[in-house]
Structure 1
């Protein structure tokens, strides 16, 4: 399970090291990252991504909902390989989508992790705790 809040550094190339606790929950050296809700990047283990896909792909492609789910889920998804230190690159399009520039927050969200622009996360987490 993905738990906790972390503030790892982000290289100018978009490279980030996934915190050790989140890496342990990942269970492998690969992850799927994609656009999330609320302008963040979602990260999933391969197993969790396959489970999510099995649930979502029940919706027939012949329906507008089924097509929208497929487009939303797969069009921006990228499989990333983590190196020995747990580093991977967040692609430019995902950084741009989430408004990520230089400081980030990586949070555990149970079945997935989320990567946020640090200021956006601070605003959201402070407003929801008020």
Structure 2
């Protein structure tokens, strides 16, 4: 499970060093793709394969499912961490997420997310007030 926030730097070759707490889970390979809110989703290969199985079950007759599948999978890239635990973020994904040198990698349970540090701070500031004011059950059975 991916938890916490980390602040790696993007190097001149478009690589980041994976957070130490995420390395075991991602050592067998990662799949990166476009995430919602202009971040990059990072899955272990195993988790991405399980997710892909669920996606494959969406009806091909659903335009919304087809659109989601196209955007989600067309941006996906399988990467393998090197011996220094670095992984290259493809240029199309760096551009999509507007990444600069300063990044934030957050744990989001079954995936990690890579954000430009400024974009993450802005998002978090906006969402923290919404989070504290949530009065209804957002996740069934949680509270």
What is the TM-score with the length of structure 1 in the denominator?
Answer: 0.92
SS at 1:82 equivalent? coil
CA contact (8 A) 1:56 1:69 kept: no
Aligned length: 129
Match of 2:141 in 1: none
Gap change, CA 1:101 and 1:59, over 3 Å in 2: same
CA contact (8 A) 2:28 2:45 kept: no
Match of 1:38 in 2: 37
Residues 57-68 of structure 1 mapped to structure 2, 5 A cutoff: 57-68=56-67
User: Structure 1, unaligned stretches of length 5 or more?
Assistant: none
What is the TM-score with the length of structure 2 in the denominator?
Answer: 0.84
CA contact (8 A) 1:13 1:89 kept: yes
CA root-mean-square deviation: 1.3
Superposed CA deviations along residues 4-57 of structure 1, whole A, max 9, x for unmatched, are: 10001110211101111011233x331000000001000001111111111111
Would you tell me which structure has more helix in proportion to its own residues?
2
Matches of 1:73 and 1:50, distance apart in 2: 13
User: Structure 2, unaligned stretches of length 5 or more?
Assistant: 130-143
Matches of 1:24 and 1:126, distance apart in 2: 31
Superposed CA deviations along residues 89-117 of structure 1, whole A, max 9, x for unmatched, are: 11111011001021100000000000000
Larger mean Cα displacement after TM superposition, 102-111 or 65-74: 65-74
Match of 1:2 in 2: 2
